[in-house]
Amino acid sequence: MSSPWPPTLGATNLSSSNLPIPDPAAFRALTAQLDRFPALVFAGETTDLKRQLASVSNSDAFLLQGGDCAESFAEFSSDNIRDLFKVILQMAAVLTFAGRRPVAKVGRVAGQLVKPRSKPEETRDGESLHSYRGYIVNAIEFNGPARAPDPQRMLQSHNQSAATLNIVRALAQGGLADLHNVGEWMVGVINDPHLTERYDSHCDPRLNADQALELAFLVAATLRDHAST
């Protein structure tokens, strides 16, 4: 980067983001509280990502980014986080075996709670309310209380992001991300009887490279066909 990125940059640029702050004092109190919290991402993790991105820039690895457009409070659960983690691993396996290169995996998760909007207000049937700006600001339901910006949502967003990262770290460090465990990523995903039979007959107890590539593409095709029906 040509210039340093200070952690306070987001707060200083709020005036140009059309983000409603009806209670500046409460907002400042919450941001001061968050400033005292431990960092969500550690320096070693950032250094490791930079190393992997350097390999990508040198064409020695692929970059895979996956996740939702935006996270929510309502859908936050360990099962959803685990399933997203497995999907990213499955996609990375296809890239790894097809391209014969490692994959730098980046999850769009643990903080995707803001929705940019071109207009500060949304109008329905003649009623204008604050636009939905993500769960860190307000709720998606179209009514006055739900669309009212609430600084307390920043605290809940931070806690949810921290919990999400802890689950992801536990899954990764617990061995699930090991490519030798690719067979376990498919458990609970394969519902097609034909694929289940192939999985049971050819993947005992682990997939080799060719089996993993074939099965991953079969699963992707099956999911695509199911999504189009």
Instruction: Tell me which H or E stretch contains 128.
Output: strand 127-130
Going by the annotation, the residues of the binding site for phosphoenolpyruvate are 108
Outline which parts of the chain fall under CATH 3.20.20.70. Answer: 19-176
Confirm if 175 and 155 have CB atoms less than 8 A apart.
no
The CATH T-level fold of domain 19-176 is TIM Barrel (3.20.20)
Using alpha carbons only, how large is the chain's radius of gyration in Å?
21
Annotated binding site for Mn(2+): 69
Model pTM? 0.74
Q: Are 135 and 73 in contact (CB under 8 A)?
A: yes
Contact 203, 211 (CB under 8 A): yes
Q: Based on the number of CB atoms within 10 Å of its own CB, is 161 exposed (0-12), middle (13-18) or buried (19 or more)?
A: buried
Q: Encode pLDDT of 82-111 as tens digits.
A: 888 888 888 887 788 777 888 999 999 999
DSSP class of residue 192 equals: -
Q: Give the tens place of pLDDT for each residue, 19-66.
A: 778 888 988 999 999 999 999 999 999 999 999 999 999 999 999 998
Annotated binding-site ranges:
69, 108
